[in-house]
Amino acid sequence: MNRQLEEMRARLNTVSPYFCLAKWYQVTIHLQNGQTHSCHHPSTHVVPVKELARSASALHNTSFKKQRRREMLTGVRPAECSYCWDVEEASPDNLSDRVLKSSNPWAEPSFEAAQTMPWDADVMPTYVEISFSNVCNFRCSYCCPKDSSKWYEEIKQHGPYPTSGRLHDLKDLANWKQLAIPEREENPYVDAFWRWWPELYPNLKVFRVTGGEPLLSKHTVRVLEWIVDHPHPSLRLAVNSNLVVPDELYSKFLDLVQKIVQQGCVGKFELYTSVDAYGPQAEYIRNGLNYQKWLANVRLFLETVPDQHLCIMCTFNALSVTSFPQLYADVTELRRAYPDTRPGAAPGGRISIDLPYLRDPQHQSVMVLPPLYGERVDDIIAELKRAPEVIHQEITQLTRIRSLMRTPWPEEKLGVARADFFRFFAEHDGRRGTSFLETFPQMAGFWEMCREQADSIGSSVEATGLNRWFRSRMASMRGK
């Protein structure tokens, strides 16, 4: 284990075993529906409009979040941070994001300030991730209507998916205040952001734009043009993109980024893009993806914007396991073609892979897989360790995923999740004209296991909150 990270964990624990600087200095704000969270792992919560009247910084400093900071300072475990508690409890050697994030340059220098300031103080975050809109051209299998306009259109047309919880029921999302405000309408949260921006911007160490698909939002262009006019040489600027947008939009984006980099408007630029598997399997997970176009646009970025970083976000899920080695081979080829030749360059050079594990929806988590798939993850880890250039962070992330897989869910929870796996993807194939078995022939045995599980608990459908509508849908699926 890295000595510096060990020291940070010990230092955090002197305050509280649940202390984490991300709750103070990192924030993701979903302006499309007025929700926020710190860090990005906990569920989002609503920013009350009345709190924005007090200060636009309430986009980060909500009353709810201040209570979570108070818990951390007083040795109370915030329930919303279960992502890290699960990792830490799986093995005493595991490093959770509580430690990794607190060790970052945007957090560590403010350790004493977070420890000593009043728990209800308004904090100026140093790492801000903003989603302006849910406008998106993808319907990723693990995404949702609040983050994708394409998902919203599908659910509005066809209704929720027939899982045990009626996944993506628009009535539920409306009750939870998760539906997006259309980009064409007045949005008090977007207005508050632009009021706050001139005060927020000079204090930032990291600013990241996410979505939806950020390159489809006018506000992303506005941010980039602002940065051209207001240089911030110590800022790390990042933009997320699926990289499969109309060519003219991608060209305009690259032109702006090239200008920002060449004129030294920021200290570092990073492009984040997501892919969770290889080829057709990646396209199945991320509906709307053209894998070869994605790969071509990755190369175009690396050629157009020299020396800047590309991070491939692989949200490791049940459908990632079978083709991850082929994806990794493509990444290795990119690393060889576009090396970082600067002195002291990190392993992996300009290209990194981030490997968070998927938690929600639970039926797509690696936890639904039988033990055979854990052995395949072991093989992947062994292969990465044999690579000519070992990337320790990637091995560490996969290793902690594997340790979670060794702690199986209770049988009842596992049974429901596997039944939901079949229900979801059978419905997915019917709606989208896809075929799970043609795309994942290696998973035929698991598919049949999940089908049998769905059949076996069909008699308890009413108890799970579904109705006769679900049974008729299941009957039609079996008949296809």
- pLDDT tens digits, 271-282: 999 999 999 999
Answer yes or no: is 201 within a domain.
Answer: yes
> Greater confidence, 177 or 139?
139
**222: closest CA among 233, 204, 238, 209?**
209
pLDDT computed for residue 403 by the predictor: 94
Confidence band for 371, pLDDT divided at 50, 70 and 90: very high
Confidence band for 163, pLDDT divided at 50, 70 and 90: very high
Count of domains forming the chain: 1
223: pLDDT strictly greater than 80? yes
468: pLDDT strictly greater than 80? no
82 DSSP 8-state letter? H
Answer yes or no: is 467 within a domain.
Answer: no
Confidence band for 296, pLDDT divided at 50, 70 and 90: very high
CB 60 within 8 A of CB 36: yes
167 DSSP 8-state letter? B
Maximum CA extent, the chain: 65
Answer yes or no: is 6 within a domain.
Answer: yes
Answer yes or no: is 389 within a domain.
Answer: no
Answer yes or no: is 123 within a domain.
Answer: yes
Answer yes or no: is 386 within a domain.
Answer: no
Q: Average pLDDT in the 411-435 region?
A: 97
Look at the chain and count its residues. Answer: 480
Confidence band for 461, pLDDT divided at 50, 70 and 90: very low
Answer yes or no: is 45 within a domain.
Answer: yes
Confidence band for 100, pLDDT divided at 50, 70 and 90: very high
Residues 6+ apart with CB under 8 A from 211: 131, 132, 133, 134, 135, 136, 147, 217, 240
Three-state secondary structure call for residue 239: strand
Three-state secondary structure call for residue 256: helix
Place of tokens 């509005």: 156
CB 353 within 8 A of CB 315: no
Which residues form the domain of 9?
1-272
pLDDT computed for residue 341 by the predictor: 80
Answer yes or no: is 183 within a domain.
Answer: yes
Distances from the Cα of 116 to the Cα of 19, 119, 241, 366, angstroms:
13, 8, 38, 40
